[in-house]
Amino acid sequence: MKTLRYELADGIATITFDEPGSPVNTMCLQWQEDLTEAVRQVVKDKDTIRGIVLASAKTTFFAGADLKGTMRLQAGDAPQVFREIEQVKKNFRTLETLGKPVVACLNGAALGGGWEVALAAHHRIAVDNPKIQFGLPEITLGLIPGASGITKMVRLLGLMGAQPYILESKLFAPREALELGLVHELVPDAEALRPAALAWIAAHPQAQQPWDAKDYRMPGGTPSNPKIAGMLSVAPAALKQKTRGLYPAPEAALAAMVEGALVDFDTALRIETRYLARLIVSPVAKNMINTFFFNMNAIKAGQSRPKWEGRFKPQKVGILGAGMMGGGIAYAQASRGIATVLKDVSQDKAEAGKAYSAKITQPRVEKGRMDPVEQQALLARITPTESAKDLAGCDLIIEAVFENRDLKAKVTKEAEPLLAPGGFFASNTSTLPITGLAKASTRPEKFVGIHFFSPVDKMKLVEIIRGKATDDETVARAFDYVQALGKIPIVVNDARGFFTSRVFGTFVMEGAAMVGEGIPAPVVEQAGLQAGMPVGPLAVLDETALSLSVHVLDQTRADFRAEGQTYIATPGELLVERMVKEFDRNGRAAGGGFYEYPQGGKKFLWPQLQTLFENPDAPWDLQELKDRLLYRQAVETARCLAEGVLTSVHDANIGSIFGIGFPGWTGGAMQFIYGTGIDTFLHRAEVLASKFGPGFVVAPQVKDAIRRFEPKY
């Protein structure tokens, strides 16, 4: 046996998980074979065994499924996967029904399949450390906890009680697990686990699982209980509304929960396996595993961070501009213990920026989720000021003023000299090239773009932009700063619109172009929602302000003229320009854009859109509209990769999902291409280009980049 050790001494059989060459234990094929062999040995030694201990030689207990192996599965592998899962469950059941006490010693995290391994024990003992996590995150990866997790959690917590832990992938620490009855005992450290396990075995010479007891009753009742039945009757519709039918895992999990609760335990296990075997070979599962596991871990591990041996720990950070963005950054910093100087042109404006943090935290205080002392400490870390002198000694200053080159240059020149020795300067611009803004700096190598997304307190992504002169140390420091805020950094090279703003622009402008083609505005919005975007393109344009889009268009035209070129606006840009300049529809903040915003009422599409633009004879197909919105963004992302704006697929995928809301079921803009199949994608893009123009053209160098960056598993 290669991935575990089996030892029998003094009547105690110990199975120690220790996968070679891996920092964690996984349910790889070798482990599955080794577990079968170990259980076979347990049965052989049954008469001399008093108890069984499940332990780990790693710093964590068990990590779960072998996800690299999962990525290699094909649709035809489902029957084999079914047999493998059933064998794992057979091994668990053999241990559970042997009549001998089985104890799991949880020295660290047990997630997904790892928690299912722990559930095979009659008694679970955990180290009392709040940083340790248990639970079933499979739904976030397009899978379900199908190695007995659904069946057992439902029987331990009941149908309603188990829902947050299965359908929402809610994780829990050891103390919460103890309160839920999922862990039975806590010990102060890993050394205390085995003595506690041996003591429990000595006190319980025989053991069985709760669901194997003759008097077992499901907590809260079965689906036949009228109260449960009433809730379950609306659950599928609520789930469909949330997932829009694009995420099969939550629906499969709910079905397995309910169907399993209607039958005996072993039949429930089989139902669960069928659902998992079908899901695990599906494209959506592969897309989500690729991005939310492998790509996310690549970013967390710092693969996008330049090699700089130091580690930047921000102590005092200045922010120029106390508007919604500046106030949001101030909150993000103060909530992480960073002293913040928030400067604006007047003390009143600076104070208003600080008040944003009070506005965010006050509801938490009122609901008991935040201690008032903690709130006051957070607010005390923010120093609002109108005086540039207060910026002295900052190890980072971020300008977050209006998107105007002259204004940004002015505040840069005023604040940069006040940086602490070795400090660096950043611009929070969303569109203006960093190399151009760095001309106002005396040290362009220490000037970087740090692009936050609004609202800062909710948006996890931060885009770091390297200017032509920005050095590795400055990019690395920016990366460390973003991670210190608990946010997700991606690193891109300088270009107009960088990556996120550039690709986001293609989404909204493709939607605007559809309106210009005479397609009904409600259909355009529905196409966006049904494709999986969080909001329709017209609603997003309103939120970000149509006037801002026109301002960017005017700036782009001016920049092209300065370079002796002419910028050709897209049909979508021209329609938005008409909305602003002809019809004075500037966006939500200005009172209305594509939508009307009645005071105290629900927004609705501006009725004049139908009169001005809609053409009853304009042909449209909903699938084609959805394709246009997704393919347009994916093509632009691939162009960014080919041009070197992006340098990795993981930055592309994570950035597109967390920055611009590209649908999670696709795994991100590049994974959408790979999940669709490169040849299939390119053919469809060619068809769309022939009908809807150059936005969908995939040039030869872009095709090369797509193939060159294709991930291998």
Residues 476, 518 share a domain: no
Domain that holds residue 88: 4-286
Helix, strand, coil percentages, rounded to 5, for the chain:
55, 15, 35
Contacts with 280 (C-beta within 8 Å, 6 or more apart), sequence order: 70, 73, 78, 81, 143, 146
| Count of structural domains within the chain | 3
Amino acid found at 623: Q
Do 548 and 425 lie in one domain? The reply is no
Which among 116, 399, 473, 596 is annotated as catalytic?
Answer: 116
- Rounded to whole angstroms, what are the CA distances from 641 to 119, 508, 645, 649? 44, 21, 6, 8
DSSP annotation of 212: G
Q: How far apart are CA 171 and CA 16, in angstroms?
A: 24
Query: What's the pLDDT at 225?
Result: 87
Domain CATH code at residue 619? 1.10.1040.50
CB of 655 closer than 8 Å to CB of 451:
no
Q: Which two tokens stand for residue 159?
A: 């149908």
Q: What separation in angstroms does the CA of 76 have from each of 29, 73, 237, 264?
A: 17, 8, 31, 29
In a shared domain, residues 341 and 263: no
Residue 308 lies in a domain: no
pLDDT at 236: 86
Q: What stretches in the chain show pLDDT beneath 70?
A: none
Whether residue 7 lies in the annotated active site:
no
Indicate if 376 and 509 belong to the same structural domain.
no
Please indicate, yes or no, whether residues 427 and 517 belong to a single structural domain of this protein: no
pLDDT score of 232:
85
Same structural domain for residues 353 and 240? no
State both tokens at 97.
């029904």
Torsion sign, CA atoms 397, 398, 404, 405: positive
Q: Is residue 296 part of a domain?
A: no
What token pair was written down for 116?
A: 């299912």
Residue of 19, 84, 138, 463 with catalytic role = 138
Q: Is residue 644 part of a domain?
A: yes
Q: Identify the pLDDT of residue 231.
A: 84
Task: Please report whether residue 90 resides in a domain.
Answer: yes
| Beta strand segments in 405-536, E | 419-427, 447-452, 461-466, 488-493
In a domain, 303, yes or no: no
Active site residue 386: no
Query: What is the pLDDT at residue 297?
Result: 95
